[in-house]
Chains A and B, each alone.
Chain A
Amino acid sequence: KAGVTQTPRYLIKTRGQQVTLSCSPISGHRSVSWYQQTPGQGLQFLFEYFSETQRNKGNFPGRFSGRQFSNSRSEMNVSTLELGDSALYLCASSLGVSGYQETQYFGPGTRLLVL
């Protein structure tokens, strides 16, 4: 079974631009979560989607948004990019039925550099 895939793997943008990252979960998984990883702040939760609905949200500004499609694929969008948005963005999927006891399976991440 294929793992979680994320595209693109690397991205360079300039301040003020917007970016869209994509995540394809493991087949059969209905929950997708997004995280931002930086050396200073570590791993921070962005949001979680289940069956096209946002189920949980972290403490990020409204410039960060996401959505999930009927096939469980998910996208996250960051508008008006700032230098501090440079990070590794990780996507994780899970079945979504056992909630807090479930294992999340992570993709390799998209490394975003904002210049």
Chain B
Amino acid sequence: GNSVTQMEGPVTLSEEAFLTINCTYTATGYPSLFWYVQYPGEGLQLLLKATKADDKGSNKGFEATYRKETTSFHLEKGSVQVSDSAVYFCALRNRDDKIIFGKGTRLHILP
């Protein structure tokens, strides 16, 4: 079946550091891939998405590239800010199927 594995947190970085949160998936076919972010006390917000191989999603300085050959969709940001502290979820959705979320990675950015 479909599954998503993302690196366990918490991840703690200093402001302006480079961020990578790893995400790999198992799926048949060509799913759509998503990164959602959850700020404290709020629901999830879409951060970025990619719907086919080699697509790059980007938003607010975050990027992720859909890598079919490595079944990965790693999230990156060149310079993190304190306001990026949140929980990040990698997710996939296959055609005619439900969305599958990873366990989430909590990110702490220190000033």
Contacts of A4 in B (CB 8 A): 43
B interface bracket (residues with beta carbon within 8 Å of A): 20 to 34
Give the Cβ gap from B34 to chain A, nearest Cβ, in Å. 8
Least CB separation from A42: chain B residue: B103
CA distance A72 to B103 in the complex (A): 29
* Chain B positions 62 through 94: 1 when the CB is less than 8 Å from some CB of chain A, otherwise 0: 000000000000000000000000000100011
List 24 A-B pairs, Cβ < 8 Å.
A42-B101, A42-B102, A42-B103, A42-B104, A43-B89, A43-B104, A45-B99, A45-B100, A90-B44, A92-B43, A92-B44, A99-B96, A100-B31, A100-B93, A100-B94, A101-B32, A101-B49, A106-B43, A106-B44, A106-B45, A107-B43, A108-B41, A108-B43, A109-B43
